C-alpha cells in the first residue's frame, strides 16, 4: 500500500491539490482513500459555514487514483508524467454529500488500456453509502522513448 508521501513522489499533481492518502494497485484495479479534513483550500467558499466536498473534486480524486495506477503498472514502459491528461468522464452520478470527517473509499477498475488512452469505471463510498459513481473516466498518456 502506498502512503501519501509515496503518492506525492509518483504523480505530477502537488499539494494542496492532491486528494489521496493511500493507494493500493492491483493488476486491473486500484483502491485508495482520502479523509476530508475541512481544511482544504476550497472549503471556505464551498459553502461558507457548511463545507461540502465538491463533486468535481471527487472526480479529480478518482482521476489522481487513475494516475497512481498508471505510474505503478506502466513503470517498466516509462510513462511520461507530463503526458497524462484528463480527457473525459461519462455518466457521473453524485448520490451523497461528502463532508469534513468523511473517509472517501475510492475504487477504479480498468475498462480499456491502450496507448494513448486508459479508461476506468469507478465509485466512491463513504462507509457503505455510494457517494459518487462514474461509468467511464478517460485519461491520456504516452510512454517515453
Active-site annotation, residues: 46
Cell 481544511 found at: 39
Alpha-carbon gap, residue 62 to 58, rounded angstroms = 7
Virtual torsion, Cα 76, 80, 86, 91, nearest 10 deg: -10
Torsion from C-alpha of 70, 94, 134, 60, nearest 10 degrees: -20
Amino acid at each position: 500500500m502506498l502512503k501519501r508521501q509515496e503518492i506525492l513522489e509518483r504523480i505530477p499533481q502537488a499539494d494542496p491539490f492532491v486528494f489521496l492518502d493511500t493507494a493500493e494497485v492491483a493488476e486491473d484495479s486500484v483502491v485508495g482513500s482520502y479523509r476530508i479534513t475541512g481544511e482544504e483550500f476550497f472549503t471556505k467558499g464551498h459553502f461558507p459555514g457548511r463545507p461540502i466536498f465538491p463533486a468535481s473534486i471527487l472526480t479529480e480524486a478518482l482521476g489522481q487514483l487513475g494516475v497512481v495506477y498508471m505510474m505503478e503498472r506502466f513503470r517498466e514502459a516509462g510513462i511520461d508524467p507530463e503526458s497524462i491528461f484528463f480527457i473525459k468522464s461519462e455518466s457521473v452520478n453524485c448520490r451523497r454529500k461528502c463532508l469534513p470527517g468523511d473517509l472517501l473509499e475510492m475504487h477504479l477498475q480498468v475498462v480499456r488500456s491502450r496507448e494513448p488512452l486508459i479508461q476506468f469505471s469507478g465509485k466512491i463510498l463513504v462507509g457503505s453509502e455510494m457517494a459518487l459513481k462514474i461509468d467511464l473516466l478517460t485519461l491520456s498518456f504516452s510512454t517515453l522513448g
